[in-house]
């Protein structure tokens, strides 16, 4: 049946492409729409590209722009994927799905986010980061994405490499009543799970007022293949696989969005607006994992292969729930007179992030151990070439001796977990933040000679959450039997296994576990100790002043932003069983100057030069004062409330040539010098924040984040966008969009003895490539896009702890087809990840992979309408 379905769908792909190709000439003329069209309409690539390029050209600072319609022509399920099409932007993925962005290869915490100019901050599992989670925001609710790579004083200083402003749709951009939307259905190649998406937007734009409402929905049923490896010294004295962890994930991921806005323009110089956004990302994730503990087997174990008997098997199962929700409300008044204007805005944002991950851990006794042979010639895929049972002789006192290979096994018995220790390992975290913002921006034009801009902003953030407490619940004593949940459904996998493995009923397993614990008066939500919780309050007072001067072809924007930042952290210290409340406050006052120069060398050639100072503030959990203190061993488990923000001094330069008909060729370079770089380490506390009861704990060892020394990040971006309309006839529909970013950077940190080491920045790929070839003519819009980024370090274990985990280079190939049946209706096909990419991680050297993952290609077909 699966083969027939696959053949049918491949045929559908081919027929869709053929229809688009042969039907295109039948169109008498191009079907085009306004460059202001919403993301789901049929506006041309050329129009949307021209609109974005023109905005970049007129900007006083260095920016990159993606118009909504341009975004809609890629198979991007969220704005993280959409932003990666712009120069210098790379993406961090979770099980193949884009989650965070990294502008210019820098850590994601160095990019700040605004929605309609109101600063935002994100929350992640356990408050481990304040980077904005882009996978929670559907691309469809936006009109424009703007990346500010150089800052002006009116932009928040919380940005080292960039600020991303997400601009929502304006009802007054189109006059009259309009209804737009899309419907799509598709599937994931691995596992044959469904993809579904839909959106609807209705707007009315009158002479003096407008209103818009809309919503979007996207869901994917996904299978993820995963292999993880550990290493230790093998039989031949070289590193060899220590354990072989085969995993299969079944996911249901859903993104929903609702938005509404109303605008009133009683006159040409006055606008009043109110808008609201709700987004949610839901991830229901079942994990089925079997770990073959080959190091504990008897026999040979080498780098390239092994032959072992009496290998224990561990099992880990769960039905996890991940949730991220954003509530954003904004209101304001804009007045723009002949030489004076003022914008007053207020905003409220609530971020909610929760993780519910009760892991069930079990294993086999020697009676149910297996024997196996493995081939590790290809280190990415350690292939088990034979599975066998294990036989024993009876020894003294009933012990088992003389293990040896038994009969071959074709299906691993998922009812063979008989270890006496079966545990629940709950990971339950919640991080919520409330942010209140008020801001006012004003300008005064001195008769065209120069313009004075000034403003003020206040932002208050309240954050509450907890980190995970890794506490085991023994579940077996309550009569719980993992084997009872084994099914006869084999794994849906594309990776080699060497044996058939069946799924467990994870959902029922989790429900029954909860019932057992509740009967004992236990609850997953009570597993976190008082020291795991944190509560923080941040106040940011800011003011700025800047001037804009125009000297013929030269424009200059220069000024400074002052910010006073105060943070108070509260928590509970567990001092050898005694709970003590702790409060730590810090404040910082900083000046952030910036200058932007734009010089029109010719009508089509623009040179830019910029300088700035910015900051990035530590994550919530990193500042956690809640702690577990061991006065016997002089150790502390906590965050580091004494962390200082990171600061940068930076410079940008670019040369942009705007092609006469349409398009751009540009080269830009940047440099960032960063002070007090944050990194993870284990070292003495160095401050008195944990002192109490007359005990000096400044010399206790703390594993947390610390401020290192200084670092630098630099790079060059090459960009080309052009449609070849100078070519004759049908050939004029071809065009290209592409960019290449070359990066370098590192930072320094000293260990406890003062020895300085140079370390790479997490997330820094030295090469990022985004390119696309498109064709648009006669109502047909087709695009082949390709992305590639080189390997990068994902985590740093700290000085003396390890080299960290690297992520291997990966590529992504997508194809999109659009055909305008008429001015109101378009049919489309989105074919994503056609290279069926394998994502890898490795420990210091690619020959020692620690994780190998694959999600398969995905296909979506549908219609878009605009009336």
**Residue 610 pLDDT:** 97
For β-strands 554-575 and 627-630, DSSP reports them as parallel
Cβ–Cβ under 8 Å, residues 538 and 570: no
**Residue 54 pLDDT:** 87
> Which of 544, 704, 746, 528 shows the shortest CA–CA distance to 618?
704
Token digits for 287? 């994990």
pLDDT digits (tens, 9 = 90+) for 584-599: 999 999 999 999 999 9
Token digits for 841? 């991680």
For β-strands 627-630 and 664-675, DSSP reports them as unpaired
For residue 18, pLDDT beyond 50: no
Q: How far apart are CA 799 and CA 759, in angstroms?
A: 9
Give strand pairing partners of 820: 826
Q: How far apart are CA 20 and CA 818, in angstroms?
A: 8
pTM: 0.89
Of residues 26 and 690, the one with the higher pLDDT is 690
Cβ–Cβ under 8 Å, residues 794 and 757: no
For residue 22, pLDDT beyond 50: no
pLDDT digits (tens, 9 = 90+) for 548-557: 999 999 999 9
Cβ–Cβ under 8 Å, residues 462 and 121: no
426-443 burial code (b ≥16 CB/10 A, e <16): bbbbbbbbebebebbbeb
**Residue 577 pLDDT:** 83
**Residue 46 pLDDT:** 65
C-alpha 426: how far from chain center: 24
**Residue 126 pLDDT:** 63
Give strand pairing partners of 202: 179, 213
> Which of 781, 746, 857 shows the shortest CA–CA distance to 812?
857
> Which of 741, 786, 738 shows the shortest CA–CA distance to 765?
741
Token digits for 839? 């994502």
pLDDT digits (tens, 9 = 90+) for 206-218: 999 999 999 989 9
Angle at 518 between CA 512 and CA 521, to 5 degrees: 150
Token digits for 577? 């069983």
357-384 burial code (b ≥16 CB/10 A, e <16): bbbbbbbbeeebbbbbbbbbeebbebbb
Give the number of other Cβ atoms within 10 Å of residue 621's Cβ.
29
Token digits for 237? 């004295």
For β-strands 423-445 and 450-466, DSSP reports them as antiparallel
Q: What is the CATH number of the domain that holds 106?
A: 2.40.170.20
Give the number of other Cβ atoms within 10 Å of residue 268's Cβ.
7
Of residues 448 and 318, the one with the higher pLDDT is 318
Average pLDDT of span 620-624: 87
Cβ–Cβ under 8 Å, residues 379 and 848: yes
pLDDT digits (tens, 9 = 90+) for 206-251: 999 999 999 989 999 999 999 999 999 998 888 899 999 999 999 9
Token digits for 257? 């969005």
For 799-805, the CB contacts below 8 A with 24+ separation are 799/681, 799/683, 799/749, 799/751, 799/757, 800/682, 800/751, 801/681, 801/682, 802/843, 802/844, 803/843, 803/844, 804/762, 804/844, 805/841, 805/842, 805/843, 805/850
Of residues 691 and 80, the one with the higher pLDDT is 691
Sign of CA dihedral 509, 515, 516, 521: positive
**Residue 329 pLDDT:** 96
CA dihedral angle for residue 200, residue 206, residue 209, residue 212, rounded to 10 degrees: 0
Per DSSP (E only), the strands in 644-733 are 646-658, 664-675, 678-684, 701-707, 711-723
Give strand pairing partners of 111: 162
Q: Which of 90-94, 614-618, 739-743, 811-815 has the lowest mean pLDDT?
A: 90-94
Residue 272 has, within 13 A of its CA and on its CB side, a CA count of 5
For residue 507, pLDDT beyond 70: yes
For 155, list phi and psi in degrees, rounded to 5: -95, 140
Spell out the residues 6+ positions from residue 493 whose beta carbon is closer than 8 angstroms to its own.
190, 223, 225, 248
Q: How far apart are CA 772 and CA 784, in angstroms?
A: 5
> Percent of the chain beyond pLDDT 90?
52
Q: Which of 61-65, 136-140, 359-363, 369-373 has the lowest mean pLDDT?
A: 136-140
**Residue 652 pLDDT:** 96
For β-strands 162-168 and 142-148, DSSP reports them as antiparallel
- Phi-psi group of 235: left, alpha or beta (phi > 0 → left; psi -120 to 50 → alpha; rest → beta): alpha
Residue 534 has, within 13 A of its CA and on its CB side, a CA count of 34
Token digits for 355? 């993780």
282-311 burial code (b ≥16 CB/10 A, e <16): bbbbbbbbbbbbbbebbbebbbbbbbbbbb
pLDDT band (50, 70, 90) for residue 438: very high
| DSSP label of 789 | E
pLDDT digits (tens, 9 = 90+) for 300-338: 999 999 999 999 999 999 999 999 999 999 999 999 988
DSSP string for residues in 723-758 = E-TTS-GGGGGEEEEEEEEEEEEEEEEE-TT--EEE
Cβ–Cβ under 8 Å, residues 292 and 311: yes
pLDDT band (50, 70, 90) for residue 26: very low
For residue 31, pLDDT beyond 70: no
Q: How far apart are CA 361 and CA 356, in angstroms?
A: 16
Q: What is the mean pLDDT of the chain?
A: 86
Q: How far apart are CA 300 and CA 636, in angstroms?
A: 41
**Residue 35 pLDDT:** 28
Q: How far apart are CA 322 and CA 430, in angstroms?
A: 10
DSSP string for residues in 235-295 = TTSSEEEEEEEEEEEEEEEEEEEEEEEEEEEEETTEEEEEEEEEEEEEEEEEEEEEEE-GG
Q: How far apart are CA 665 and CA 339, in angstroms?
A: 35
Token digits for 391? 């036989």
Domain count, the chain: 1
pLDDT digits (tens, 9 = 90+) for 150-161: 999 999 999 889
**Residue 4 pLDDT:** 37
> Which of 593, 291, 532 shows the shortest CA–CA distance to 417?
291
For residue 124, the enclosing domain spans: 2-866
Token digits for 395? 């020894």
> Which of 438, 565, 455, 551 shows the shortest CA–CA distance to 153?
455
Cβ–Cβ under 8 Å, residues 153 and 163: no
pLDDT digits (tens, 9 = 90+) for 824-852: 999 999 999 999 999 998 887 888 899 99
**Residue 104 pLDDT:** 85
Sign of CA dihedral 165, 813, 98, 108: negative
**Residue 10 pLDDT:** 38
For 75, list phi and psi in degrees, rounded to 5: -85, 60
Q: What is the largest CA-CA distance in the chain?
A: 102
- Residue 1: is it exposed, middle or buried by C-beta count within 10 angstroms (0-12/13-18/19+)? exposed
Q: How far apart are CA 16 and CA 234, in angstroms?
A: 53
Spell out the residues 6+ positions from residue 454 whose beta carbon is closer than 8 angstroms to its own.
441, 442, 443, 543, 544, 545, 546
Give strand pairing partners of 595: 558, 611
For residue 88, pLDDT beyond 70: yes
């Amino acid at each position: 049946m699966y083969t027939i379905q696959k053949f049918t769908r491949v045929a559908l792909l081919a027929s869709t492409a053929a229809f688009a190709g042969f039907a295109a000439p039948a169109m008498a003329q191009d079907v085009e729409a306004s460059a202001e069209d919403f993301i789901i309409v049929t506006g041309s690539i050329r129009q949307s590209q021209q609109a974005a390029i023109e905005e970049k050209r007129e900007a006083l600072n260095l920016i990159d722009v993606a118009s909504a319609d341009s975004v809609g022509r890629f198979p991007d399920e969220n704005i993280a994927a959409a932003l990666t099409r712009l120069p210098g932007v790379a993406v961090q993925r979770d099980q193949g799905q884009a989650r965070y962005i990294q502008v210019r290869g820098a850590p994601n915490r160095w990019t700040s986010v605004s929605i309609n100019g109101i600063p935002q901050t994100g929350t992640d599992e356990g408050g481990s980061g304040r980077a904005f989670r882009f996978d929670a925001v559907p691309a469809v609710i936006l009109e424009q994405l703007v990346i500010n790579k150089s800052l002006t004083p009116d932009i928040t200083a919380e940005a080292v490499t960039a600020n991303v402003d997400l601009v929502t749709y304006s009802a007054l951009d189109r006059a009259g009543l309009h209804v737009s939307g899309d419907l799509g259905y598709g599937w994931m190649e691995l596992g044959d799970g469904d993809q579904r998406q839909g959106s609807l937007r209705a707007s009315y734009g009158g002479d003096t007022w407008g209103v818009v409402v809309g919503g979007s929905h996207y869901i994917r049923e996904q299978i993820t293949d995963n292999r993880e490896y550990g290493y230790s010294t093998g039989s031949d004295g070289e590193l060899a696989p220590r354990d072989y962890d085969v995993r299969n994930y079944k996911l249901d991921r859903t993104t929903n969005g609702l938005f509404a806005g109303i605008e009133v323009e009683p006159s040409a110089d006055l606008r009043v607006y109110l808008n609201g956004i709700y987004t949610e990302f839901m991830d229901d994730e079942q994990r089925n994992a079997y770990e073959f503990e080959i190091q504990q087997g008897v026999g040979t174990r080498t780098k390239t292969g092994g032959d072992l008997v009496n290998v224990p098997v561990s099992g880990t199962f769960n039905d996890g729930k991940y949730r991220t929700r954003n509530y954003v409300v904004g209101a304001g008044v804009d007045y723009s007179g002949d030489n004076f204007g003022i914008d007053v805005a207020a905003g409220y944002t609530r971020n909610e992030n929760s993780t519910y991950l009760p892991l069930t851990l079990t294993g086999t006794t020697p009676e149910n151990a297996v024997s196996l042979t493995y081939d590790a010639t290809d280190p990415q895929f350690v292939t088990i070439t034979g599975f066998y049972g294990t036989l024993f002789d009876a020894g003294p006192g009933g012990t088992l001796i003389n293990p040896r290979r038994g009969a071959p096994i074709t299906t691993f018995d998922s009812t063979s977990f008989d270890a006496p220790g079966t545990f629940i390992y709950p990971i339950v975290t919640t991080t919520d933040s409330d942010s209140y913002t008020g801001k006012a921006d004003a300008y005064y034009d001195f008769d065209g000679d120069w313009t004075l801009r000034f403003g003020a902003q206040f932002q208050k953030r309240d954050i509450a959450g907890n980190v995970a407490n890794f506490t085991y619940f023994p579940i077996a004593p309550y009569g719980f039997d993992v084997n009872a949940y084994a099914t006869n459904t084999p794994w849906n996998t594309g990776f080699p296994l060497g044996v058939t493995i069946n799924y467990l009923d994870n959902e029922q397993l989790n429900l029954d576990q909860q019932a057992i614990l509740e009967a004992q008066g236990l609850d997953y939500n009570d597993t976190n100790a008082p020291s795991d919780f944190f509560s923080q309050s941040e106040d940011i007072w800011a003011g700025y002043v800047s001037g804009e001067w125009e000297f013929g072809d030269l424009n200059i924007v220069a000024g400074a932003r002052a910010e006073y930042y105060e943070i108070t952290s509260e928590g509970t210290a567990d001092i050898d069983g005694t709970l003590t409340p702790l409060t730590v406050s810090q404040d910082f006052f900083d000046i952030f100057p910036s200058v932007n120069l734009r010089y029109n060398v010719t009508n089509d050639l623009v040179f830019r030069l910029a300088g700035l100072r910015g900051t990035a503030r530590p994550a919530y959990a990193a500042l956690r004062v809640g702690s577990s203190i061991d006065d016997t061993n002089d150790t502390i488990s906590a965050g580091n409330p004494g962390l200082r923000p990171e600061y940068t001094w930076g410079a940008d330069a670019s040369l942009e040539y705007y092609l006469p008909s349409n398009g751009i060729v540009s080269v830009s370079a940047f440099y960032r010098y960063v002070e007090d770089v944050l990194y993870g380490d284990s070292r003495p506390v160095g401050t008195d924040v944990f002192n109490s009861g007359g005990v000096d704990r400044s010399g206790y060892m703390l594993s947390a984040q610390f401020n290192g020394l200084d670092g630098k990040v630099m790079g060059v971006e090459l960009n080309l966008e052009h449609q070849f309309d100078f070519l004759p006839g049908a050939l004029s529909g071809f065009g290209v969009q592409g960019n290449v970013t070359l990066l370098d950077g590192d930072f320094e940190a000293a260990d406890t003895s003062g020895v300085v080491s140079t370390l790479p920045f997490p997330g820094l790929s030295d090469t990022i490539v985004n390119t696309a070839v498109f064709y648009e003519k006669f109502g047909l819009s087709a695009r082949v896009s390709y992305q590639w980024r080189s390997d990068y370090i994902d985590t740093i274990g700290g000085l003396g702890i390890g080299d960290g985990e690297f992520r291997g280079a990966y590529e992504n190939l997508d194809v999109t087809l659009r055909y305008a049946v008429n001015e109101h209706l378009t049919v489309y096909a989105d074919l994503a990840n056609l290279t069926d990419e394998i994502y890898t991680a490795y420990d210091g050297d690619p020959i020692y992979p620690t994780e190998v993952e694959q999600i398969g290609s995905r296909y979506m077909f549908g219609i878009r309408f605009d009336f």
